Amino acid sequence: MTNIPYRVFCVGEAMAELVLGDESAPPAIGFAGDTMNTAVYLKRLQGENVDLSYVTVVGNDTLSDRLLNRFDAESINTANITRSKDRLIGLYSITTDASGERTFNYWRDRSAARTLFQLGSELDFSALSGADMVYLSAISLAILPPNVRTAFLNELDRLRREANLTVAFDSNYRSILWESKAEAQRIVAAAWKITDIALPSIDDEQMLFDDADEVAVVKRLMEYGVSRGALKRGERGPLSLNVELNSTQREMDSIQGSPIQVVDTTAAGDSFNAGYLSAVLGDADEQAALQAGHACSVRVIGHRGAIIPLSVWN
């Protein structure tokens, strides 16, 4: 890492999280969201080595106040979070079955985050100024109006060329957020073409692009110009997308230790991204980065909810 602290900006939507347990227990309220989850875990792993900012829009309501307090508690910079006068943060509920698989319901159609980068009738990307790395997901793009998401990608491309920005991207595909599958394909493909560190999941890629198998997924990503990052493959473990490595080096060595009981798979991929990026920022080799991503993910899925409480983490 050449700059200390390195400036990482995570862009997206942070929501109120309503965790529904069995009917005898009251719901628990927290805060989460795919890029927020990654931001929290990356900051915990990197500490003072990273100046981590979250970029979004929230409301002026009590839940938004508590969300900002949560960011403060995690030592995440909130200077690039703006507040809407007439919109609130989004909300989702989550139920988890005995095997740790999740069911979600969302209330986010008019969330404040959907106005990100919009200043009246003008577009304003000044919130990205000063970033060394921008981390975003396909959800970050899907929630924006079509003209804004296209302009956002163009701005990231400009900053890569003119300001040496590193772009890290995860193609979290949620079909309900997109106008059409074709639009999602177009935008996600455009995002891959300007990505420096790719963090896709094989399920998302196959669902969106109808790839027949892993070989087809990797081939398509390489055609976009992806040459660094990791393909998340669930129980099979991650596969390095670093084209300079041989096939053996691209597979993660097995981790020795006790079996992990899966309590909740929420944020499994988001936490992998945090562990992997933390290792990359620490100049770790590819095997170490894959191991770090896997270890962070395994730790998170052993707890309920997207974000492990600080008291438990420490």
Quick one: which of 96, 104, 105 has its CA closest to 264?
96
Task: Identify whether 26 is preceded by a cis peptide bond (ω within 30 of 0).
Answer: no
Residue-wise pLDDT for 127-146, tens only, equals 999 999 999 999 999 999 99
Please say whether the beta carbons of 131 and 138 come within 8 A: no
Assign 258 to helix, strand or coil: coil
pLDDT given for residue 100 in this prediction: 60
- Within the chain, where are the H helices? 34-46, 62-73, 138-142, 146-163, 181-192, 202-209, 214-224, 247-250, 268-281, 286-301, 310-313
Highest mean pLDDT among 11-25, 185-199, 254-268: 185-199
Q: Distance between CA atoms of 36 and 38, rounded to whole angstroms? A: 5
Residue-wise pLDDT for 16-71, tens only, equals 988 777 777 788 888 999 999 999 999 999 999 999 999 999 999 999 999 999 99
Quick one: which of 84, 77, 92, 44 has its CA closest to 61?
84
Residue-wise pLDDT for 262-298, tens only, equals 877 788 999 999 999 999 999 999 999 999 999 999 9
Region class of 250: left (phi > 0), else alpha (psi between -120 and 50), else beta? alpha
Please say whether the beta carbons of 285 and 271 come within 8 A: no
Residue 204 in this model has a pLDDT that exceeds 50:
yes
Please say whether the beta carbons of 67 and 16 come within 8 A: yes
- Show me where the domains of the chain are located: 6-313
Token pair 């900051």 is found at 43
* Structure-block tokens of residue 157: 């491309």
- Catalytic positions: 270
Helices 34-46, 286-301: inter-axial angle, 10-degree rounding: 120
Distance between start and end Cα atoms, the chain:
25
- Structure letter (DSSP) for residue 232: B
User: Rounded to 5 degrees, what angle do the CA atoms 19, 174, 292 make?
Assistant: 70
Please say whether the beta carbons of 142 and 165 come within 8 A: no
Token pair 């393909």 is found at 231
pLDDT given for residue 261 in this prediction: 74
pLDDT given for residue 46 in this prediction: 97
User: Rounded to 5 degrees, what angle do the CA atoms 217, 221, 223 make?
Assistant: 120
In CATH terms, the superfamily for domain 6-313 is Ribokinase (3.40.1190.20)
What is the CA 65 to chain-centroid distance, rounded? 22
pLDDT average, residue stretch 152-181: 97
Query: For the chain, how long is the longest CA-to-CA vector?
Result: 56
The β-bridge relationship of strands 15-19 and 28-32 is antiparallel
Please say whether the beta carbons of 99 and 261 come within 8 A: no
Token pair 């009981």 is found at 261
The β-bridge relationship of strands 91-96 and 239-240 is unpaired
Residue-wise pLDDT for 298-311, tens only, equals 999 888 778 999 98
